[in-house]
Structure 1
């Protein structure tokens, strides 16, 4: 598509965004909603609509080439992502569940289930900075060197025992004898055929011809019938035409155009950066002197006006308050002097006043009931809506009506660069002038106000104090004298940094839950599908890690636990998070850290190095497999030597030290969460994602995709529906192993004459133990004991509790009345 088309798409997305902003930012704040279902419906509609805007903006941003438009668009895109995460958090707090089913919203908005898929912005990977790329190449080089050393060690000849050598000789000799015996048998069969051959009769020739005719006519008729059946299915819309199964020339051309557009983006961005440098230099040389002189005259004029109005020279504003920028606000000198004096009084008396006010409020409110707020559900305050409104206003004021008929190639505009750089240069010059004018003001005071003898007050900087009143201790750097490369090399050698697999999140296949809404209407909690899991992982893991702006302002998620049976793809999801965001993968699993960095000092050093490198190479993901081992209620005898609980206390301390700007995510995986201490586990992991065994729809999609991926052909002979039905309880890991055993290279070559059938997979599938219903129920019961699960159960039985509370309140009131009468 052309750049004009993408500009129109951007305009349509901004129009929908402006409508949403008018609904979310009304003139009067909406009243709290008491009905939880109605409130959730309102939030769900906003969530789905923002999701459609996110999809459109991501598509436009990927193909737009104008560098200045891309900057405005990226700001809007990041804030839309943040708003989607905020609405998701509101939905979780309302419904007390990580998984939501909004079939009615999709029906009202005329959308498909596929429209609920979370689009992952491609700029997370394509627009990595040079520094990040250099770090990535450095890490890959270290991993390659370690792999080479390990391969050389594995090539060293090890000593072989006599029994091992005898077994190898026996295997080779038996194979030789078997080949020789087969050759002799084949020769004897050929000799027997030669003696048995005789001249055929006329009747034998005729019967042979008839037999050949029957076979040929049956083959031709079956072929014609198959063609007619396929044409009928295509005509009815029940099958896809073969030409649509292969990318058509138009699709291939569109993909090539998109790749060329990305190259054009890079060229335009480089030109833009060069132009920014040259324009800034020109402005400093040409307009810098005039700017400084103009500011000085304005500030001196302000000094004189304040002196005439108040009789004394004013105090110069501090840098924290904005410096001389306060002077250029449209206010008279008297107002400015009063504002500065008020700020100084507030700063000096801030804490004592707050404490006294709290004490006075406590005394006044004793014996008086507090004014109750209006009961109901409200949306949490948003950190992204003001930025969305500002970004939308920029688009409306500037880009919406701008005539770009002369800018066909969509290159940068120099006048816009000048406007932006003027502000930046003015700010730089203002800082220099503020220092000069402070000295000049001091000289004026000394010269004019000698009779007062007032000395300028020394500026005192406050030290940062925490909420508790104590100074925050800085984290000690135990490796201040070491380089990043040496730390990475040490972690790679200790196998604490691992290479991520190239796995996209879309490869985690699963079908939409079509019965979720229906089951919840009958107060039955449905098990989520793999599609629901994929959406939650993209919301909690990928979107916050991919964008620094989103991570700093969005609801914080520092640790996430993936709980589910073995083989459902927990580790695959971790690698998908790393691949989609370009994150570095660290492994702090109990089995991986066993025996490494012994002692308390060694443990502190290991965690310090891991978290330090994780911050420097962010975004980063810290994987903890078998997370339940770290929180064992009772450590099994066979695992006591490994000491799986050694990271429990220190890891939580380091987790608390992570700041908002640190894009570091801890992801734990567990197959047996019931063996862990629930309280400690939930304290560590703020989000717990339950991953179930796949349902029928997901199994059908998995069988079809995995068979085709391994070279198999899905024909009408292969009954996928029956195969998906009998594989109930089996995980995607089981399916992969079964397909690897059945769909071998030899079997792929035989498919033309012998198509695949469902019966071939049954025998291989029977060798594995499925995930039984009881195991899934135990996981479901365990999840019901988590904080979110408890809230959901309380919400389901909330009416009974409210009735009991009102009864208790009535009884207490009657008792108080009786005591008062006595």
Structure 2
């Protein structure tokens, strides 16, 4: 599977080099290229993730992990280009799936299992700590076990013992009755059953058949082992136990491997350390002498910031090249003073050049932007080809780590450590040579210190409020405990993204061709949550280099599963969940200083224990249009000015995501609302196909049994306009404990769900249209409407031109 995925990846990389680098004016063709590569990358991602999860060899896992990060990041980059091209988060690619002979399920974004598996022990310990803090604070009630009095215990034992004695007595009386009945029957002289010879023949026949089947089964097993298609029984059981131990004790294996790496590094220092040190010293001293012959005096030793001897004294460079580089560095230092006045003119010229380049690109057509992940994927592919593709692994039956590969990796670290030591020694030796040969010292250290001091004094910048450390004397544990006790850090419910059930909209492309805007499906929503919420939070490399999404808004009617999706993000990534909803922070940390302290604590703990999700429920209240005359600590709008600063303090390396949920986004001021939330996902009510799957899933989940008397299609039609929350409530109202006990003799019927469904308030068409009208006012919605208007104008212009030609 790994080999096949790597082949597909190489083919895809070759296609990208050929197709994406050339400008293209036909935007329909561009979108088809992007959608095809998006689907291909998702397939590669799925195969690589499965291979990473199933392989035991940890060095192989490291190579796959590198490629996986590159593929995930490339998927996000391609998705960004698709959104820019169509001005929409939801794409309908049924025709492309048909061309590739794939199903809509193949476009489902998989969630990597290593997000949780790699830190399972840490998450379990954190959950125990959180439960203990909640119990101590009285925010969580421990499940009480009712104690039994001695009298009740004695009574239960007496009842059980008397019942046992009654059963024994009844069985004894039954045996006596049967014995007496048998004695009363007259004895017949006629022989009953077969003769002894026939009975012996029957027994022999059965026994010989059994023996022969065993022999045949054993021969088949030996043949499969000989062909290499199965393992011997003892090795098979050992591999299963190893897999179980790997799943349970993965951190212990990692500790053993790190200990072995440390021992290998120590051995390298002992065996090769002196040899490496001597080589470095000889190489650098030879460079000193040759440079003096060329320049006429000894060169300046490079500083630690510039990389030390690594930056100049490279084994592949000659002495003349080194001398030229040192002279160039000196000239650059002198020219820096003269270049201050030229910077403004250069910046203006660059702006003009950028504007010209932008106009040229518009004239030439679309072209794919630069990628941060192609180099990562290419590096991972080359590592696979160099090390693992043609590697003979017959000797490594247990798939243990390869010590030679560990040596090669650690040798670089050892060389860097020794090079730092050599730099200090050789710098002093260079000073001694200058004094002995030329009779002069460097005299630049003091100047350097003064310049550093000047830089330190002049280069001070004002640190933003939320980035200042307001709690330097407090530990993360104490801040964590305080946030839990205040109810700002809550326990996330265990919900997987796959539990958010919903089908793909199979009519999307047909509706678009007919000029009708299709309603997004729940499968689309699930994909966007995986792309913007789960994948960046789970991987540090992806979060740093992929298109950064700091804030996400989930908007939709009540009951469509917004809170469930927030908990799913936390479950799939193992993230902490902070609740900064207006109702939750009311009366807590009053005043501006209190609010600043609260946000500082949340940000500090979220960064330290990342990944983290900061959830703001009913977020429209923070940006509401009308101001309310209330106290400062009771005012939900007090977060309005602080949220942009909060997002500014979140950097690319911080895996912190702000998620807002709202049922009335049209009550908020649009401009500040859209400035805070970069990505807005509008969650619709479920369509017919999704309701059909939902009814089945929820009835089975609550213990129901679906028979022919229960018409699911009828329920899906009747529940048009109702959300997932309504369906869950109806099923729970019907399937009570008493009704579940009656299920065997009284199957479920359709009419049982109709009356509870009629009591629910559906989402009316006016409310749904208000959500669509609000979404059209967002930046992405406006851009989409503008693009559609431009297309209509182009179409009318072409038709008018055609009529003139005809006339």
Alignment TM class, shorter chain as reference: 0.7 to 0.9
Q: How far apart are the structure 2 equivalents of 1:758 and 1:640?
A: 53
Q: How far apart are the structure 1 equivalents of 2:68 and 2:28?
A: 30
TM-score normalised by the chain length of structure 2: 0.81
Alignment equivalent of 1:98, drawn from 78, 89, 109: 89
Mark the CA change 1:555 to 1:312 in structure 2 (over 3 Å): closer, same or farther: same
Q: Per-residue CA shift, 1:716-749, capped at 9, x if unaligned?
A: 1111001000100101111111111111111122
| Residue 737 of structure 1: aligned partner | 729
Q: How far apart are the structure 1 equivalents of 2:99 and 2:243?
A: 34
Mark the CA change 1:596 to 1:364 in structure 2 (over 3 Å): closer, same or farther: closer
Would the aligned equivalents of 2:294 and 2:323 in 1 still touch at CA under 8 Å?
A: no
| Residue 475 of structure 2: aligned partner | 483
Would the aligned equivalents of 1:76 and 1:392 in 2 still touch at CA under 8 Å?
A: yes
1:44 maps onto 2:32 in alignment: no
Mapping 1:270-669, distance limit 5 Å: 270-325=255-310, 326-346=312-332, 349=335, 353=339, 356=342, 358-359=344-345, 362=348, 370=356, 372-375=359-362, 376-450=365-439, 455-456=443-444, 458-459=447-448, 471=461, 473=463, 475-635=467-627, 642-669=634-661
Partner SS, residue 353 of structure 1: coil
Q: How far apart are the structure 2 equivalents of 1:351 and 1:656?
A: 34
Partner SS, residue 577 of structure 2: strand
Would the aligned equivalents of 2:521 and 2:687 in 1 still touch at CA under 8 Å?
A: yes
**TM-aligned CA deviation for residue 260 of structure 1:** 5.5
Q: Per-residue CA shift, 1:646-676, capped at 9, x if unaligned?
A: 0111122121011111110000000000000
1:262 maps onto 2:251 in alignment: no
| Residue 200 of structure 1: aligned partner | none
Q: How far apart are the structure 2 equivalents of 1:369 and 1:510?
A: 45
Mark the CA change 1:555 to 1:642 in structure 2 (over 3 Å): closer, same or farther: same
Partner SS, residue 777 of structure 2: coil
1:63 maps onto 2:54 in alignment: yes
Partner SS, residue 561 of structure 1: strand
Q: How far apart are the structure 1 equivalents of 2:544 and 2:263?
A: 33
| Residue 202 of structure 1: aligned partner | none
Q: How far apart are the structure 1 equivalents of 2:302 and 2:35?
A: 47
Would the aligned equivalents of 1:310 and 1:334 in 2 still touch at CA under 8 Å?
A: no
- CA RMSD, aligned part only? 3.1
Q: Per-residue CA shift, 1:269-304, capped at 9, x if unaligned?
A: 444222211111111112112211111111111111
Would the aligned equivalents of 1:465 and 1:472 in 2 still touch at CA under 8 Å?
A: no
Would the aligned equivalents of 2:20 and 2:367 in 1 still touch at CA under 8 Å?
A: no
Mark the CA change 1:636 to 1:712 in structure 2 (over 3 Å): closer, same or farther: farther
**TM-aligned CA deviation for residue 473 of structure 1:** 2.2
| Residue 224 of structure 1: aligned partner | none
Mapping 1:714-753, distance limit 5 Å: 714-753=706-745
Mark the CA change 1:780 to 1:22 in structure 2 (over 3 Å): closer, same or farther: same
| Residue 767 of structure 1: aligned partner | 759
Identify unmatched segments of 5+ residues in structure 2. 144-236, 799-807
Mark the CA change 1:465 to 1:600 in structure 2 (over 3 Å): closer, same or farther: farther
Partner SS, residue 632 of structure 1: coil
Partner SS, residue 562 of structure 1: strand
Partner SS, residue 428 of structure 2: helix
| Residue 173 of structure 1: aligned partner | none
| Residue 207 of structure 2: aligned partner | none
Q: How far apart are the structure 2 equivalents of 1:86 and 1:756?
A: 49
**TM-aligned CA deviation for residue 754 of structure 1:** 2.0
Q: How far apart are the structure 2 equivalents of 1:364 and 1:69?
A: 46
TM-score normalised by the chain length of structure 1: 0.80
Mark the CA change 1:278 to 1:651 in structure 2 (over 3 Å): closer, same or farther: same
| Residue 83 of structure 1: aligned partner | 74
Q: How far apart are the structure 2 equivalents of 1:322 and 1:401?
A: 37
**TM-aligned CA deviation for residue 453 of structure 1:** 6.7
Q: How far apart are the structure 2 equivalents of 1:422 and 1:368?
A: 45
**TM-aligned CA deviation for residue 361 of structure 1:** 7.5
Mapping 1:142-161, distance limit 5 Å: 142-147=133-138
Q: How far apart are the structure 1 equivalents of 2:767 and 2:671?
A: 22
Would the aligned equivalents of 1:574 and 1:623 in 2 still touch at CA under 8 Å?
A: yes
Out of 713-722 and 318-327, give the one that drifted further. 318-327
Q: How far apart are the structure 2 equivalents of 1:638 and 1:378?
A: 53
Would the aligned equivalents of 1:544 and 1:550 in 2 still touch at CA under 8 Å?
A: yes
Q: How far apart are the structure 1 equivalents of 2:524 and 2:486?
A: 36
Partner SS, residue 403 of structure 1: coil
Mark the CA change 1:347 to 1:626 in structure 2 (over 3 Å): closer, same or farther: farther
Would the aligned equivalents of 2:21 and 2:368 in 1 still touch at CA under 8 Å?
A: no
**TM-aligned CA deviation for residue 800 of structure 1:** 5.9
Q: How far apart are the structure 2 equivalents of 1:488 and 1:348?
A: 52
Would the aligned equivalents of 2:537 and 2:656 in 1 still touch at CA under 8 Å?
A: yes
Q: How far apart are the structure 2 equivalents of 1:363 and 1:622?
A: 43
Q: How far apart are the structure 2 equivalents of 1:347 and 1:516?
A: 62
Q: How many residues align?
A: 697
Would the aligned equivalents of 2:503 and 2:689 in 1 still touch at CA under 8 Å?
A: yes
**TM-aligned CA deviation for residue 99 of structure 1:** 1.0
Q: How far apart are the structure 2 equivalents of 1:103 and 1:63?
A: 32
Q: How far apart are the structure 2 equivalents of 1:391 and 1:598?
A: 52
Q: How far apart are the structure 1 equivalents of 2:242 and 2:723?
A: 40
Mark the CA change 1:369 to 1:121 in structure 2 (over 3 Å): closer, same or farther: closer
**TM-aligned CA deviation for residue 501 of structure 1:** 0.4
Mark the CA change 1:149 to 1:760 in structure 2 (over 3 Å): closer, same or farther: closer
1:33 maps onto 2:24 in alignment: yes
Mark the CA change 1:529 to 1:366 in structure 2 (over 3 Å): closer, same or farther: closer
Q: How far apart are the structure 1 equivalents of 2:406 and 2:481?
A: 43
Would the aligned equivalents of 1:505 and 1:580 in 2 still touch at CA under 8 Å?
A: yes
Mark the CA change 1:801 to 1:637 in structure 2 (over 3 Å): closer, same or farther: farther
Mark the CA change 1:776 to 1:637 in structure 2 (over 3 Å): closer, same or farther: farther
**TM-aligned CA deviation for residue 550 of structure 1:** 0.8
Q: How far apart are the structure 2 equivalents of 1:610 and 1:347?
A: 45
Identify unmatched segments of 5+ residues in structure 1. 1-8, 153-252, 807-822
Would the aligned equivalents of 2:590 and 2:632 in 1 still touch at CA under 8 Å?
A: no
Mark the CA change 1:340 to 1:397 in structure 2 (over 3 Å): closer, same or farther: same
Would the aligned equivalents of 1:135 and 1:617 in 2 still touch at CA under 8 Å?
A: no
**TM-aligned CA deviation for residue 518 of structure 1:** 1.4
Out of 505-514 and 79-88, give the one that drifted further. 79-88
**TM-aligned CA deviation for residue 259 of structure 1:** 4.3
Q: How far apart are the structure 2 equivalents of 1:132 and 1:344?
A: 54
Q: How far apart are the structure 2 equivalents of 1:774 and 1:411?
A: 63
| Residue 770 of structure 2: aligned partner | 778
Out of 519-528 and 778-787, give the one that drifted further. 519-528
